[in-house]
């Protein structure tokens, strides 16, 4: 009955894409914060190499967040 009324495919897509994007972007941004914070702390303590690694991880995570947002908006405006 309900399956005949609702576009199940579209609704399912809303569910899984929202979950994937919401959780993915949140996790990536949290990793960016960890990377940035740890890089600052380690540099202050004189651990230059570890600080650089954390900074790179943070930047990559931040880049992933921004890329996901841009890709999402482009996908939205394409349809």
Partner 1 sequence: MEGDLLTVAIVVGVALIFDFTNGFHDTANVVATSVSTRAMAPGLAVGYAAILNFIGAFISLQVAATVAEDVVDPGSIGLLAVFGGLVAAIAWNLITWYFGLPSSSSHALIGGIVGAVFVADGADAIFFKEGVLGEVMIPALVAPTLAFVVGGLSILVIYRIVGRLRPGSVTAGFRAGQVISGGLLALAHGTNDAQKTMGVIALALVAHGSLPASDPTPPTWVVVSAATAIALGTYAGGWRIIKTMGSRIHKMDSAQGFAAQGAGAAVILVSSHEGFPLSTTHTISGAVIGSGAAKRLSAVRWGVAGNIVAAWVLTLPAAAAMGALTYGVTRIFGTGAAGPVIVSVLILAGGALLFARRAQQARTTATTAVEA
- 8 Å CB contact between 65 and 32: yes
Cα–Cα distance for residue pair 15/9, rounded to 1 Å: 10
Which C-beta is closer to partner 1: that of 3 or that of 49? 3
What is the number of alpha carbons within 13 Å of residue 30 lying toward its C-beta? 6
Q: How far is the CB of 65 from partner 1 (least distance, A)?
A: 7
- As measured in angstroms, the least distance from the Cβ of 36 to partner 1 is 7
Q: Which is nearer to partner 1, 56 or 75 (CB)?
A: 75
By CB under 8 A, the count of residues binding partner 1 is: 37
């Amino acid at each position: 009955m309900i399956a005949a009324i609702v576009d199940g495919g579209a609704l399912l897509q809303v569910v899984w894409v929202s979950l994937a994007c919401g959780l993915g972007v949140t996790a990536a941004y949290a990793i960016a914060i960890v990377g940035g914070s740890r890089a600052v702390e380690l540099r202050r303590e004189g651990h230059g190499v570890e600080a650089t690694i954390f900074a790179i991880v943070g930047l990559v995570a931040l880049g992933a967040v921004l890329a996901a947002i841009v890709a999402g908006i482009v996908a939205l405006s394409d349809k």
